[in-house]
Every structure is written in C-alpha cells, then in structure tokens.
Structure 1
C-alpha cells in the first residue's frame, strides 16, 4: 500500500545547528551520468523535510559544506512552510478558498443561478460551482458537488495513467481492476488478487505523483510487502521515486484537507 508519510529504511541522515535550532536533512544518492556536471541540489519540501540530492560518490564533507552555504535560505524556507502548515484550516466551501487539481492551485468561486443547473467546472484558474439557490444546506451541497467532480476526474485520469504505465510493469498480466475510494491514511492499496484501490484526493497532485502511487501499487502485484526486492522493482521503473514521494507527502495535508 502507498501510505502517507510512511518511513523508509536505510535513510542517510545528518544534521546541523542554525541559531538555536537543530536541522536534520536526508541525503538521496543519484548515479552520476558520464559527461554531466556533478552537482548537489537542496530541496526544502512543504512538509519541512530537507532533501539533499547528491552524486553517489560525493563526500559527506562536500555535502555538508554545500548545505551550510545555504543554511540561511534553508532556515527561511523552513520557517515559511511551518507558518503555512500551522494555518491549514478545515474548508468552509466558500468563494476564495483554494482547491487543487493536478498540482495546480485554483480559487473556488460559488455563484447562484436560479435558472441554471447545479454543477462544477474549471474555468480561467477558478473552480466554479453553480447552485440553483443558496440555502442553509449550501456548504454541504457545495462539498458534495466538489467531491463528486473530483471523483469523476480521478477515475478518468487514473484510467489514462494506468494504461500509460502498464507497459513498464512487465510482471503484470492483463489490466488490473481498480476502484476509487477516499482513504484517510493511504494514497492507494493493492489486494491479494491484484485489484487496485486509489484515493480520489490523489487527483489534486501532479501527474508524476499519481504515476508514483500507481507504480507503487503495481509493484505490490509482484511483491506483496515492502521488501528489498519491492524497492528495487519500484526503482527500476521510477528511479527518482523518493523525490516524488517526498513531494507528495509534503502536500498531503493540503490535498486531504476537506
């Protein structure tokens, strides 16, 4: 199953002190491609995870030096993300709230049209919800309409991505069945019979994150637990899955916020 914020084994973690704060970071090793410049990149993710991508033969001292050169920038980014996370509030489904779709942000706009039809559509950077009339059940109705819209979009997009990714999953025979179901702690799961279950909230994430979850669950058809063989199989079809997972985990609280 693809859990939210699941911990992985064999992490390479270090730390440093900036001001009065101890900061930890994870080093993700990348194979160096011949002819390309060796570089160390630093990413602060929305969940306040600090990830350092480095060549597989980079010295720990060189990595630490690169981190310390950007210590102030790292501290500022962490402070901004912490403030943001503290301000995540349950949605009230009113105009002006933020919604997500395929990794992009959209502003919710609610309008009343007595002669129209209650529906949801995306237009010009907005998620437009039309209601025939406003009443005391307005918030519940908007939430229901938006949830259904996301589910329909999710089913369509997941079908497309599954069809696109299946040729990579050479161990899978046939086309796995799947259903879309809201889950509080998982992005997806795979049954013993190879049926997939995917969280409709995943449609709010970038396409690459959707691909990661689908490939993760397809790997469970061959390896039913998170063994070393499982992670090797996942790495063979998505070498940079750790970066993608970290990106998805970093936005989980916003994507799952209802």
Structure 2
C-alpha cells in the first residue's frame, strides 16, 4: 500500500465505510489510519497531529519487544508454559503431551515420521486443552467483579491480538499464546474483554473501569507488551 506523509509521518491511509477514525501502530513502527470515506484531509491531519506523542510512545515500545523464538520442536529446546521455561523432550509414540513439573520438562510424544507442522499442532492442542481448563474458573472469579457475563467464549490462535470481544454476541476470544504467559496476564485479558461489555471503545471510561476492576492491570499489560506475537501486532488486546 502506498504511504502518505501526514503531519510529518508516513501513514498507510485507508478510506472505508466506518463511523470514526481509527489509528493503529504495528510492530516495526508502521502506522495505519482508517477513516470514513468522505473525511477531509485537514481532519485526518488534525487527528494524527493530536496523537503524535502516542504514536511515538508505541513505536518505542515495539522497538523494545522480545521476538517470539523460532522453534523446531526437537529435544533440548526450551518451551514456555505459564511464563516458566521447560525443556522439551521428544519421544516416539502416539501423539500426546505430558507436563512434568518436577523435572521442568514437557514430554512430546509423536510418531517417528512426524513433521515439524504435526509436532507443532500436537503442542498447540496441549496448550489449548490447558487454557480451556483455566478459563471457566477465571470467568467465575471475574464476571461478578466486572458485573458482566460472557454468553460464550473460545480459544484460538491469533496473530495480532491477545483477546477480542464481540459485544453484540457477548462472545470473547482468548489467544492460545496466553498459556505461555503468566497467569495474571491471562486474567488481565479476561477482565479487559469483559469490560468491553460495559464500554466498546478504549476511551477514558474504559480505562477508568479497568482501574476499578483490576487496579494493577498496567503491570500485566506491560508484560504482554514485551512480546511480539507476529509482525504487525498492534499494541493491545482489542
């Protein structure tokens, strides 16, 4: 997409059918601004100029984030589980994963001729199972605090978000990668998405509610902000 220089910054400017302007800063520093079709250029310039400091702040945050390691799913690799590092031990057999807390090992059992993609899929299924066991208890804990209930929830691999909320359906999605992060980070995303059932936007009211429901949310958000999910990761849960 051609870049446009606005307010001294190179911008991916997208005009589409929408109600309000939306700004996103991506890993690597790329800036994307989506605006309603007939928005005057002057209004776009004013919008970006007013958020110049915010843009610089998030570009700096991305510059300090840790990239996700490239894994081959072979014995001896270190794999995260709830922020702790475990040695991967690959064994031959029917596809299965066992967590050995005492030995700090994850035992991955796969057929001899398994491919990298197949080993990765078995590990992903393990993380999904573990996360799905945790979420119901967290919803029981936090829904009364937030004062809203999710009608349904799910887990999926997301390249650009830690979580999302479909407000109309009252459905929340949680990123499979959260099983690799500290438990309080998972709780932060659960509370974040439930709070969207009060307030759709990331505005002053939303963050004030977050202060009320989870006063230490900034600590957990900062922990997640250290990690690159993928090239193009925005700054937060949605």
CA distance in structure 2 between the partners assigned to 1:204 and 1:104 by the alignment: 8
> Is 2:150–2:170's contact at 8 Å kept on the other side of the alignment?
no
CA distance in structure 2 between the partners assigned to 1:185 and 1:93 by the alignment: 23
CA distance in structure 1 between the partners assigned to 2:156 and 2:127 by the alignment: 11
Ranges in structure 1 where 5+ consecutive residues have no aligned partner? 14-23, 27-44, 50-80
Give the CA deviation at 1:199: 0.8
| Cα deviation digits, residues 230-250 of structure 1 (max 9, x gap) | 010011111121121011111
2:11 maps to none
1:146 maps to 123
- The 1:226/1:179 distance shift into structure 2, 3 A limit, reads same
Candidates 65, 85, 103, aligned match of 1:105: 85
CA distance in structure 2 between the partners assigned to 1:4 and 1:222 by the alignment: 25
1:221 maps to 197
- The 1:210/1:4 distance shift into structure 2, 3 A limit, reads farther
> Is 1:4–1:185's contact at 8 Å kept on the other side of the alignment?
no
| Cα deviation digits, residues 204-251 of structure 1 (max 9, x gap) | 111110111010001100101111100100111111211210111113
Q: What SS is found at the alignment partner of 1:193?
A: coil
CA distance in structure 1 between the partners assigned to 2:180 and 2:25 by the alignment: 15
Between 216-225 and 155-164, the greater mean CA deviation after superposition: 155-164
Candidates 209, 219, 222, aligned match of 1:233: 209
- The 1:150/1:206 distance shift into structure 2, 3 A limit, reads same
1:134 maps to 112
Ranges in structure 2 where 5+ consecutive residues have no aligned partner? 1-23, 28-49, 231-238
Q: What SS is found at the alignment partner of 2:170?
A: coil
Q: What SS is found at the alignment partner of 1:93?
A: coil
Output the TM-score relative to the length of structure 1. Answer: 0.61
Give the CA deviation at 1:138: 3.1
Aligned residue pairs: how many? 180
1:48 maps to 64
CA distance in structure 2 between the partners assigned to 1:177 and 1:187 by the alignment: 17
- The 1:198/1:253 distance shift into structure 2, 3 A limit, reads closer
1:125 maps to 104
